[in-house]
């Protein structure tokens, strides 16, 4: 619900031009928790708190998050009512909206979001076992990755907003592909492990918010309220389901096979991203002529 509803709420507060940057700020704060959480929990578990105390701390953090969510809801209640009224008055049914989305350019963004989720959940879920198998400290990944994501979403996102969104997506997924490929050569080198993690964070940090925003921006006005819930559903489905596939690949074929699969996903994203950029460029040139 958090993953699906947060972009929906944010989308109603911003313009098309600022959507990618604000999605970056939103998901950047999520990435802080995802990256810092494993490091903090590792420390807490080793204290007298143990696992029980660590779960209690996590529960307290959730209560704080709930309180902040209620505050945001109270402050933005007017916008929420307006959005609900607009959605309810939409003449497009759910089935018709889905068909129109899946035959539009938004379908390419949704496909990329699924691949992003597969890569993201694999890298964050299996990092401790991957690092342990190579004598590395998995905290290096989480710290380098998180710092890079924060930098990309809170600093670079505002800078690249001036460029063509399709070019930003194509360039950032290319960086991601190089980072995934570099994990095949990490071995037991801590420095290379940190560099690969940082570049993965830079590419992912820029690409995902831009793709989410692009999915909305290229959609028809009547079906926009359906796009973000669909993107959230696909993202969460892949996050929860793909670790089963990744675990099977690891136990059956090893980590090199897993990274080969992830690299294939990254190459598919590169193909989609650069193709859409080139097609859009050609279309704009034709219209200009």
Q: Domains of the chain (ranges plus CATH)?
A: 2-288 (1.20.1250.20)
- DSSP 8-state class, residue 156: I
**Region of residue 120 (phi > 0: left; psi between -120 and 50: alpha; otherwise: beta):** alpha
Distance CA 241, CA 237 (A): 6
- The alpha carbon torsion through 275, 277, 278, 280 (nearest 10 deg) reads 120
Q: pLDDT at position 283, please? A: 54
Distance CA 125, CA 172 (A): 22
**Digit-coded pLDDT (tens) for 36-83:** 888 888 889 989 989 999 999 999 999 998 998 888 878 776 554 554
Distance CA 106, CA 229 (A): 13
| pLDDT tens-digit profile, the chain (289 residues) | 776 677 777 777 777 666 667 777 777 777 778 778 888 888 899 899 899 999 999 999 999 989 988 888 787 765 545 544 544 445 567 777 778 888 888 889 899 999 999 998 899 888 889 999 889 998 899 889 888 988 887 788 777 778 888 898 999 999 999 999 999 888 889 999 999 999 999 998 888 888 888 888 888 777 877 787 787 788 888 888 999 999 999 999 999 999 999 999 999 999 999 998 998 775 554 444 4
């Amino acid at each position: 619900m958090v993953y699906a509803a947060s972009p929906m709420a944010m989308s109603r507060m911003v313009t098309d031009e600022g959507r990618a940057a604000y999605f970056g700020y939103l998901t950047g704060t999520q990435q802080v928790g995802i990256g810092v959480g494993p490091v903090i929990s590792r420390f807490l578990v080793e204290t007298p708190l143990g696992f029980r105390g660590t779960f209690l701390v996590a529960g307290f953090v959730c209560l704080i998050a709930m309180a902040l969510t209620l505050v945001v809801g109270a402050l933005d209640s007017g916008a929420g009512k307006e959005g609900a009224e607009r959605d309810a008055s939409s003449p497009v049914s759910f089935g018709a909206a889905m068909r129109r989305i899946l035959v539009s350019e938004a379908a390419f963004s949704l496909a990329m979001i699924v691949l992003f989720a597969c890569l993201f959940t694999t890298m964050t879920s299996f990092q401790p076992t991957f690092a342990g198998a190579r004598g590395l400290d998995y905290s290096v990944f989480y710290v380098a990755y998180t710092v890079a994501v924060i930098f990309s979403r809170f600093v670079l996102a505002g800078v690249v907003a001036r460029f063509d969104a399709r070019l930003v997506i194509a360039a950032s997924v290319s960086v991601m592909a190089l980072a995934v490929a570099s994990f095949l050569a990490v071995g037991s080198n801590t420095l290379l492990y940190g560099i690969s993690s940082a570049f993965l964070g830079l590419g992912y940090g820029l690409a995902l918010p831009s793709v989410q925003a692009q999915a909305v921006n290229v959609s028809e006005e009547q079906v926009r309220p359906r796009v973000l819930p669909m993107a959230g559903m696909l993202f969460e489905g892949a996050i929860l389901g793909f670790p089963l596939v990744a675990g099977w690949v690891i136990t059956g074929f090893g980590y090199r096979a897993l990274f080969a699969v992830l690299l294939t996903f990254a190459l598919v994203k590169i193909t989609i991203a650069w193709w859409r950029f080139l097609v859009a460029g050609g279309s704009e040139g034709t219209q200009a002529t």
